[in-house]
């Protein structure tokens, strides 16, 4: 082989190698992860780093409980390399569109199966609307469907089998517990690694660093509760903090359970909450993010307590910058708000 031919062979080999590398990189760039609500979006972008594009379906300011996807949202989900959602009561639209996709379904993970689920709880004084009973029936159906999907997805999480399948509705607000946020982050890490094994070491490192921050958040909640003189709080709104209250041994009273679509409490519910604020002499009555605050303000007017927002982090506000908001910053603010309310 003369030197020119040798040069051409080497050049050709180099082009093939470069094309291969370029092709893999280009494909890698296109991995597109679609998420339903803010906490999943936040955990995923942190674990993925710059390697994948991550989309939040819920528009800023939208209510996740009444969300209905646009045709373009449906296409975004169908085109995803991986679709991550909670799998709770607010995700009826997810079940509908996934079944409409037939065989052209994206890979999916329902994160509710990565934690130990707790049933929604009706506490004393809570407005227990009749639609909640209807949910109970839907709940059973939904869990059956989910179990089927789970076997399609991945079989690497033994804990997912431990969540309660008893009667009642599993509360969907799993992310309000930092401990659950850790389990969700681990599940997301594993799902991204399955999709893109070449970057699994990066995902593992990103997840580990983030989990350390979540452990610190958990420790902050624990020490705040341990040093607080009260262990009870009142939310004049829906109650999406079942997992938070459970983790930290807090008692609570609220107007509605977490999934309630009712926002008009009876006079007896409001009177009951006013009595509780007086009985415990509570300085704060909570409302939620994106709430009209009417119930909390009524309780505050009657008792002299002040209204504060306890943020369940379903979504970011209407003019929020996604880059400047994080689950951690929202939850650290909640630590401080609870500290005020419990002291």
Instruction: Point out the residue whose Cβ comes nearest to Zn ion.
Output: 240
Residue 110 three-state SS: strand
**17 vs 320 by CB, closer to Zn ion:** 320
**236 vs 240 by CB, closer to Zn ion:** 240
Question: What own/partner pairs with CB < 8 Å and gap ≥ 24 does 319-323 have?
Answer: 319/60, 319/61, 320/60, 320/61, 322/41, 322/56, 322/60
Cα separation, 56 vs 44, in Å, equals 10
Task: Look at the alpha carbons of 151, 157, 163, 169 in this order and tell me if their dihedral is positive or negative.
Answer: negative
**83 vs 243 by CB, closer to Zn ion:** 243
**146 vs 303 by CB, closer to Zn ion:** 146
> How many CA atoms lie within 13 Å of 325's alpha carbon, on the beta-carbon side?
17
* Closest approach of Zn ion to the CB of residue 296, in Å: 17
Two tokens at 63? 């209510």
**88 vs 106 by CB, closer to Zn ion:** 88
* Closest approach of Zn ion to the CB of residue 281, in Å: 29
Cα separation, 29 vs 23, in Å, equals 10
* Closest approach of Zn ion to the CB of residue 308, in Å: 18
**Is the CB of residue 273 less than 8 Å from the CB of residue 330?**
no
* Closest approach of Zn ion to the CB of residue 336, in Å: 22
* Closest approach of Zn ion to the CB of residue 51, in Å: 30
Contact residues for Zn ion, defined by CB under 5 A: 240
Cα separation, 41 vs 48, in Å, equals 10
* Closest approach of Zn ion to the CB of residue 237, in Å: 10
Residue 66 three-state SS: helix
**157 vs 311 by CB, closer to Zn ion:** 311
**168 vs 283 by CB, closer to Zn ion:** 168
* Closest approach of Zn ion to the CB of residue 65, in Å: 6
Question: What own/partner pairs with CB < 8 Å and gap ≥ 24 does 250-255 have?
Answer: 250/225, 250/342, 252/123, 253/123, 253/124, 253/125, 253/126, 254/123, 254/126, 255/126, 255/127, 255/295
């Amino acid at each position: 082989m003369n030197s020119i031919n040798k040069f051409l062979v080497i050049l050709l080999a180099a082009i093939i190698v470069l094309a291969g590398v370029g092709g893999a990189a280009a494909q890698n760039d296109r991995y597109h992860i679609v998420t339903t609500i803010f906490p999943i979006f936040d955990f995923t972008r942190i674990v993925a780093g710059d390697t994948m594009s991550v989309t939040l379906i819920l528009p800023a300011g939208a209510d996740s409980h009444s969300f209905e996807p646009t045709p373009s949202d449906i296409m975004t989900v169908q085109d995803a390399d991986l679709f991550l959602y909670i799998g709770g009561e607010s995700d009826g639209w997810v079940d509908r569109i996934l079944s409409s996709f037939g065989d052209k379904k994206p890979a999916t993970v329902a994160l509710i199966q990565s934690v130990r689920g707790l049933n929604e709880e009706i506490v004393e004084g809570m407005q227990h609307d009749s639609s909640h009973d209807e949910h109970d029936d839907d709940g059973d159906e939904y869990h059956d469907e989910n179990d089927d999907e789970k076997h399609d997805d991945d079989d690497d999480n033994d804990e997912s089998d431990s969540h309660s399948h008893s009667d009642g509705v599993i509360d969907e607000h799993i992310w309000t517990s930092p401990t659950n946020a850790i389990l969700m982050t681990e599940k997301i890490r594993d799902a991204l690694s399955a999709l893109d094994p070449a970057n699994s070491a990066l995902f593992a490192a990103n997840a580990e660093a983030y989990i350390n921050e979540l452990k610190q958040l958990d420790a902050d909640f624990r020490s705040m509760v341990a040093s607080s003189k009260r262990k009870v709080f009142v939310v004049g709104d829906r109650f999406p903090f079942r997992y938070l209250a459970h983790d930290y041994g807090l008692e609570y009273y609220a107007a509605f359970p977490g999934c309630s679509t009712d926002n008009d409490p009876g006079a007896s519910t409001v009177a009951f909450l006013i009595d509780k604020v007086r009985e415990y002499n509570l300085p704060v009555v909570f409302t939620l993010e994106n709430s009209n605050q009417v119930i909390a303000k009524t309780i505050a007017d009657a008792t002299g307590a002040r209204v504060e927002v306890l943020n369940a982090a379903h979504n970011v506000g209407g003019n929020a910058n996604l880059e400047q908001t994080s689950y951690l910053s929202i939850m650290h603010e909640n630590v401080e708000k609870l500290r005020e309310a419990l002291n």
